[in-house]
Amino acid sequence: MIIYLVINIYLSVCLCELNVVYQWDKINLSIVHETEHSYIPENNLVHRMKIWNNTLYMAIPRFKPGVLATLCKSNRGTIQPFPSLSLQIVGNCFGMQNIKDIEIDHLGNLWVLDVGKVYDLKEPNYTCDPKLLILDINTGRMIRSSVIPSSMYTTQSVLSGISIDLKTLTAVITDIGPNSGFIVYSYQLGIFQKFQCKLLSSVKDYNEALLTISPIDNILYFTTVEMDSLYTIPLSVFNAPFINDISHYVNNQGLKTDTSTAMIMDTTGNLYLGLTRKVIAWNTLKNSFDIKDLYIQEVRFDWISSFAFDSNGYLWITTSAFREFLNGSSSKRMNIKIFKRFCGTTAFALLHLQNTYVKNNTLPNNNSSANPKIATSIYLLTLIILLKNIS
């Protein structure tokens, strides 16, 4: 009962009005003048956003031509390519091509899903292979660039969504194309594995996956834009031998009331979902799919593309005219807005930043485990929450 009371207090704080922090009709990059002729403002929008040390990191996908930088950072409203513009040239397969999703781990490293294929919504270009990149946020140094094996995807694959298991430094990515499933990458082993999941197969023109991993119960929570329900699967399934199709291990947690376009989990076990007219939260420590409305609008939100927490207890919400962008009815104003509201909680990766800042933000060598102090903190937090829940 104690943990439920704490969670309800956090959600009550989070019910207050949203404040607009940034608003852009178009993305103005701090770039050199000679590249401006190839920039098409209405084709640039913030699709995913994460926060580290008061800096925003943004994925700006190359859905259409005219996107100069597909990965950017912003501090106090100024947007610039990260780590550099030279690493983001279309056709340079050693660099970044089309960033669809990003995640930050507890060591201060940015995990980046580059789907390779550019101009998805125009005339797709398949020159480069999809890959997973890991960047040191402090220095911009590329720690790792791992190409996804061609046997795990096809030209019809829709790679989207990324979530990191902080205990093992394992990334989970989805393929919601015809050969649907989860692509799992182990940093320590340096290998990818593909697990089929027929439930993820997409039938509509546009779809993308939403993923989040809870260290509390070692479960992957997932859904897609078009799915009617929210699903879970134990992380242990990805470590079980001789399992290729994990469809039978998926659990249906309940029906969604509307289309969902963004998802995140906080350190108290609350799962936040962005719908067309509201933001809802679900206490995952309860057995029932009992949701709570946080923000409701009579008119629909613009497309909620991303949630992010900072280390000061604020929930950040990114919206844009992505719906109109998809159907081709948008004007040259992308109406990108970033809201925030104090909730008193944060993401698991940022938990330690509420008290101190990591001085050495480096991933471990292949023959060592994740930072033991941080990993221990995650395990202890998990144990405390579970014990309180049992009592």
For residue range 255-272, what is the model confidence (pLDDT) as tens digits?
A: 998 999 999 999 999 999
Q: Examine the pLDDT at 158 and tell me if it is beyond 50.
A: yes
Domain containing 254 equals 2-390
Q: What end-to-end distance do the CA atoms of the chain give, in Å?
A: 7
Residue with token string 């995140």: 264
**The predicted structure's pLDDT at residue 367:** 39
Q: Is residue 5 very low, low, confident or very high in pLDDT (cuts 50, 70, 90)?
A: very low
Bridge partners, 264 (sequence order): 272
CA atoms within 13 A on the CB side of 201: 7
Yes or no: say if 233 and 219 are a contact pair by the CB < 8 Å rule.
yes
Of residues 353 and 234, more confidently modeled: 234
Q: What is the distance of C-alpha 226 from the center of its chain?
A: 17
Provide the pairing of β-strand 278-283 with 219-224.
unpaired
Element (H, E) at 11: helix 2-13
User: What is this structure's pTM?
Assistant: 0.88
For residue range 186-211, what is the model confidence (pLDDT) as tens digits?
A: 999 999 999 999 999 866 667 999 99
Residue with token string 């781990």: 105
**The predicted structure's pLDDT at residue 286:** 82
- What's phi and psi for 388, nearest 5 deg? -65, -35
Yes or no: say if 227 and 207 are a contact pair by the CB < 8 Å rule.
no
The CATH number of residue 52's host domain is 2.120.10.30
Task: Give the C-alpha separation, 387 to 391, whole Å.
Answer: 6
Tell me which DSSP letter residue 91 carries.
Answer: T
Q: How many domains, in total, are found in the chain?
A: 1
Yes or no: say if 235 and 186 are a contact pair by the CB < 8 Å rule.
no
**The predicted structure's pLDDT at residue 241:** 86
Task: Give the C-alpha separation, 253 to 212, whole Å.
Answer: 14
Q: Examine the pLDDT at 37 and tell me if it is beyond 90.
A: no
Please report, for residues 50, 66, 182, 268, 386, the alpha-carbon distance to residue 286 in angstroms, rounded to integers and kept in the order given: 27, 46, 26, 12, 11
Which value, to the nearest 10 degrees, does the dihedral of the CA atoms of residues 354, 112, 189, 221 take?
Answer: 70
Provide the pairing of β-strand 219-224 with 191-196.
unpaired
Q: Examine the pLDDT at 369 and tell me if it is beyond 60.
A: no
Hey, is 319 helix, strand or coil?
strand
Q: Is residue 11 very low, low, confident or very high in pLDDT (cuts 50, 70, 90)?
A: low
Which value, to the nearest 10 degrees, does the dihedral of the CA atoms of residues 266, 140, 88, 36 take?
Answer: 100
Task: Give the C-alpha separation, 66 to 76, whole Å.
Answer: 24
Q: What is the mean pLDDT of residues 226-255?
A: 94
Q: Examine the pLDDT at 125 and tell me if it is beyond 90.
A: yes
Q: Examine the pLDDT at 218 and tell me if it is beyond 80.
A: yes
- What's phi and psi for 230, nearest 5 deg? -105, 140
Please report, for residues 45, 76, 259, 300, 320, the alpha-carbon distance to residue 334 in angstroms, rounded to integers and kept in the order given: 7, 20, 21, 16, 6
Q: Which of 111, 122, 108 is nearest to 63 (CA)?
A: 122
